[in-house]
Structure 1
Amino acid sequence: MHNTQSDTKCENASDTPESPTGEEESVGLARWKLGLLMFGNTLAVFCVALDNTIMSNAIPRVTQTFDSLEDIGWGSPARRHFDRQRERTTSPKTAVYGCFGGIGGAFAENSTWRWCFYINLPLGAVTTVLILCFFFDSRTGTSDVSMSSWNRFRGLDIPGLLLFLPTVFCLLLALQWGGAKYPWNNVRVIVLFVIFILAGGCWIFIQHSMKDQASVPPRLIRNRNVWSSAVYMGCIVGSFIIILYYFPIWFQAVKGGSPIQSGTMILPIIIGLIVWLGFGFQLPFIAVQTALPRSDIPVATAIVTFAQNLSEAVLVALAQTIFQNRLFAHVKQLSTLVDPNALVHAGAANLDQHFSADVLPEIVRAYSAAVTETFYAATGIAALSFIGLIRLQWLSVKKTKTNGNAAQTHL
């Protein structure tokens, strides 16, 4: 173990960790203001939890409502963020994240699944008011009012955003259509992939040209700790979200459970999420905040969150393609009496109301096999997180003081 800065000189400049502490003094909040801010933050996480834990249990009923099995992956994105300096505050937030999985099932069964979205409106309004009233820059106690409106607008990276949105849209649509609605060699799917490649290339060029003003600054993405954390987070969250979305389908289509029963049966996964979340989900954020100077932490954390959100959307769309293709293949193999189009329009809930007793066992077995093979994909994606894990630097979150400055402790 070395407590000098000589080891850091051996690293590439883009990989050199700098202390995120000691650069600026933080200004604290009054306890009552901090409490209200934490309450608003917890409400925000609760709204995020609705997107995942609630919608995952309601999705089988949604597919039945719209007579389309192709709509499983349309509601996946979620947003979370953590801070190395405030780990104690993540405990109530993550507990809230996991506690409401059965609510979506109750809405879908006793009211309407649309309440999964309606409930966001009042909670989001309260969250917005609290954050706007009590949030400020902890480094200075104020916001940076010296920056002109034009510079603030330029900081939004509007050209990059306008290119990135159609890029991701084309990728998701191609993954959703390919092999399910249209063959992979269909001109629609090919054109979508071509647009994705061209628009993605233009987006990368813009990010490179804008340097530190870009949404994803090249200087940071080249840092091994940042891209490793992004790869790890994208794989681990992507695999988890696949399991979270497809277990309710297995519970309702294979076991014949109601949406409420599905929300109850998924509780072991949710409890595991609450108890063991810090062992995996928070670590990439801790890593980038340990390895980078404080001025780079917000952007680096945003990059990791960006990888998380993008992987959720892309991998759920990919999982939907795998699930639907394997479902059709198993149905054709087990029974020649079932029309795949009828299977799509039946949705993933209450299968006994759509199919006769003669073919229902084969359909249930096909659903079970398709979900299982989708979980194989989730397992493989989780294993890929090892690529990001092995590239992270061995750094300690403990600091030692050298000549008044914080020095990094290397392991």
Structure 2
Amino acid sequence: MSEPEAAASLERDPTEDSNHYIDGVKLAALMISISLCMFLVSLDRTIISTALPTITNEFHSFDDMAWYGSAYMLTGSVMQLPLGTLYQIYAPKYVFLAIMLVFIVGSAVCGGASNSLAVILGRAVQGIGSAGITAGCMIIITETVPLPKRPMYMGILGAVFGVSAIVGPLLGGALTTGASWRWCFLINLPIGAVAMIVIFLVFPDGGKGGDKDEVEQDRTGITAGGGSMRLWKRIQRFNPLGLCFMVPAVVCLVLALEWGGSTYAWKSARIITLLVLSGVLFILFGVDQWLEGEYSTIKPQLIADRTVAASALYTAFIGASMMSLVYYLPIWFQAIKGASAVKSGEMNIPLLLSLVIGSMISGMLVSKLVGYPSLFMIISSVLMTVGAGLLSTFTVATGHAKWISYQVLFGIGLGLGMQQGATAVQMVVHKADVPSVLSLLFFCQQLGGSIALAIAQNIVSSKLVSGLHASLPDVDASAIVSSGATQLRSMVPTKSLATLLQIYNEAVTTSFYLTAATSAVTFLAAIFIVPRSLLKTYCEDEEVSSGQNRPV
């Protein structure tokens, strides 16, 4: 290989060895299987919401309610980056299967729990599995599908991820009322087991072969599958000192976000201490990453890349936009329109369908025709911002035409851009760095969603309390805030209901301002991504791989 070709190969190699690509029935079976895995993981973030009252009643564990969600989010956030490193060191096939097994074990613990502690521990184990599955599904696509086709398949996963988050409360309510809350977790066992068997059979064992092993070993100290690495070198790749900073930093931040405004006041010493500790530890983690160089969890040269940094920011804020809306739109339907938990899920179908359509359209167009993921990220940002802005105009009297059309506008925007960051980064990083970069994007998405949800909860609670004190001083504001939206109409006299609904509407729609703001920030991130054509990139790399110099 000539020097220019070697340099080009080190810079980026999206085409890699095509011997491990699959198609036809095998690819279809693999896609269905990893889509099911993604569905289960995303589903478990929200499915428990409608089952919480039943679980707490059975175990008399109201004080533990927050931990049923926090345990999942906590371990999921903490393990996202370390598991990305694991995918770099060992064969992705076996890493994914092992992580999937962890997720299934956690689900079994939750489903068979005899007390509240068992549910919490099971959720924590599930969270570990979820961290590796989300990035792992994308990594499987990079291992089995050539670059030009990846956006189409990643669009499918993006649609599955978004749909399952929206469907979660609906399915959770149906399972809880029709069978048992335990089936919110036990449903993962048969589906996950079948998916694992199919993945084991159709996903090639493959590492990369030939010269590429030498290139990757020169850059990362790793050969495909990690076979030539000594134990200490493998430990070094996990950046132990960095993890000592990152893990407690994430723990402190997630706990502060989960407890702030609910368990403890935001101004309490406990919450302030957690936030300060988190900030200091994140700074120390950043310094460590800079000093560690090639052995860092997140390589400094990757973050220094304009497209990677902007994609991470974009992904964080699109996660924030999605979670803040997905959480509070059903609450608006329940409180203002008097819908049940199940009915509110049905009223979210316009958002669900439009998200699927947007994801499929963007995936196919980037793969087949347009080639520029950054273009769809910009269009996505505009549509989401306008859609969220329109949603914030909801009133008590808002009718079907508006709440359906506004959902469609936001949903198409969300679908168009959800997975484009993952596509954009693959055009600028080396194949060996794809697992860590994808893990970084999912880490940002999860953290962005957690932060936005905490802010939205604080906004709604504060607005609700201030409105009640001003207009309905005789009503117990704390009882209204802590009660479910479906119980709202039974908590005040009939003569006060109209005023209460007006106050509640203003509180919830104020959270949509946050959704609009985070959507607007995605536009700023999208315009900083280097406009690069996927189709042109692929053609240039094919010229390099065939012995021709790539045009500058």
Task: Please tell me the TM-score bracket, short chain as reference.
Answer: 0.7 to 0.9
Partner amino acid, structure 1, of 2:334: Q
Quick one: which of 448, 460, 467 aligns to 1:330?
467
- Alpha-carbon deviations, 1:319-356, whole Å to 9, x = none? 22222222212222220112222224423332234444
Whether the aligned pair in 2 keeps the contact of 1:228 and 1:388 (CA below 8 Å) is: yes
Partner amino acid, structure 2, of 1:349: T
Whether the aligned pair in 1 keeps the contact of 2:468 and 2:500 (CA below 8 Å) is: yes
Quick one: which of 515, 525, 531 aligns to 1:378?
515
Compared with structure 1, are the counterparts of its residues 169 and 334 closer, same or farther at alpha carbon in structure 2 (3 Å cutoff)? farther
Partner amino acid, structure 2, of 1:38: M
Compared with structure 1, are the counterparts of its residues 131 and 259 closer, same or farther at alpha carbon in structure 2 (3 Å cutoff)? same
Write the distance in 2 (CA, Å) between the matches of 1:181 and 1:242.
Answer: 20
Quick one: which of 105, 108, 117 aligns to 2:185?
117
Match of 2:442 in 1: 305
Whether the aligned pair in 2 keeps the contact of 1:52 and 1:244 (CA below 8 Å) is: no
Matches within 5 A, 1:9-408: 18-21=11-14, 23-29=16-22, 33-52=26-45, 54-55=47-48, 58=50, 71=66, 74=70, 79=134, 82=138, 83=142, 84=147, 85-90=149-154, 92-97=156-161, 98=163, 101=167, 102-132=170-200, 134-137=203-206, 139-140=208-209, 143-277=225-359, 278=362, 279-397=416-534, 398=536, 399-400=539-540, 401=543, 404-405=547-548, 407=550
Match of 2:388 in 1: none
Normalising by structure 2, what TM-score? 0.63
Write the distance in 2 (CA, Å) between the matches of 1:33 and 1:154.
Answer: 36
- Alpha-carbon deviations, 1:28-47, whole Å to 9, x = none? 34855544433321221111
Compared with structure 1, are the counterparts of its residues 96 and 232 closer, same or farther at alpha carbon in structure 2 (3 Å cutoff)? closer
Partner amino acid, structure 1, of 2:190: P
Compared with structure 1, are the counterparts of its residues 177 and 305 closer, same or farther at alpha carbon in structure 2 (3 Å cutoff)? closer
CA apart distance, 1:217: 1.4
Write the distance in 2 (CA, Å) between the matches of 1:60 and 1:266.
Answer: 20
- Alpha-carbon deviations, 1:354-393, whole Å to 9, x = none? 4443444333322211110011001101101122112111
Whether the aligned pair in 1 keeps the contact of 2:302 and 2:429 (CA below 8 Å) is: no
CA apart distance, 1:110: 3.8
Whether the aligned pair in 2 keeps the contact of 1:21 and 1:294 (CA below 8 Å) is: yes
Compared with structure 1, are the counterparts of its residues 39 and 177 closer, same or farther at alpha carbon in structure 2 (3 Å cutoff)? closer
Write the distance in 2 (CA, Å) between the matches of 1:213 and 1:127.
Answer: 34
Compared with structure 1, are the counterparts of its residues 389 and 95 closer, same or farther at alpha carbon in structure 2 (3 Å cutoff)? closer
Identity %: 31
Whether the aligned pair in 2 keeps the contact of 1:61 and 1:349 (CA below 8 Å) is: no
Compared with structure 1, are the counterparts of its residues 258 and 22 closer, same or farther at alpha carbon in structure 2 (3 Å cutoff)? closer
Question: Which stretches in structure 1 are left out of the alignment for 5+ residues?
Answer: 1-5, 7-12
CA apart distance, 1:198: 2.0
Write the distance in 1 (CA, Å) between the matches of 2:180 and 2:346.
Answer: 18
- Partner of 2:533: helix, strand, or coil? strand
Compared with structure 1, are the counterparts of its residues 93 and 282 closer, same or farther at alpha carbon in structure 2 (3 Å cutoff)? closer
The answer to which of 383-392 and 132-141 deviates more is 132-141
- Partner of 2:494: helix, strand, or coil? coil
Compared with structure 1, are the counterparts of its residues 63 and 189 closer, same or farther at alpha carbon in structure 2 (3 Å cutoff)? farther
Write the distance in 2 (CA, Å) between the matches of 1:178 and 1:333.
Answer: 24
Write the distance in 2 (CA, Å) between the matches of 1:258 and 1:24.
Answer: 53
Whether the aligned pair in 1 keeps the contact of 2:460 and 2:511 (CA below 8 Å) is: yes
Normalising by structure 1, what TM-score? 0.82
Q: Which has the higher contact order (CA 8 A, sep 6+)?
A: 1
CA apart distance, 1:271: 0.7
Q: Which has the higher helix share?
A: 2
CA apart distance, 1:144: 3.6
Partner amino acid, structure 1, of 2:434: I
CA apart distance, 1:184: 3.7
- Partner of 2:289: helix, strand, or coil? helix
Question: Which stretches in structure 2 are left out of the alignment for 5+ residues?
Answer: 77-129, 211-223, 363-415
- Partner of 2:443: helix, strand, or coil? helix
Partner amino acid, structure 1, of 2:208: R
Write the distance in 2 (CA, Å) between the matches of 1:139 and 1:344.
Answer: 56
Write the distance in 2 (CA, Å) between the matches of 1:312 and 1:350.
Answer: 27
The answer to which of 134-143 and 186-195 deviates more is 134-143
Compared with structure 1, are the counterparts of its residues 32 and 22 closer, same or farther at alpha carbon in structure 2 (3 Å cutoff)? closer
The answer to which of 267-276 and 343-352 deviates more is 343-352
Compared with structure 1, are the counterparts of its residues 320 and 136 closer, same or farther at alpha carbon in structure 2 (3 Å cutoff)? farther
Compared with structure 1, are the counterparts of its residues 201 and 96 closer, same or farther at alpha carbon in structure 2 (3 Å cutoff)? closer
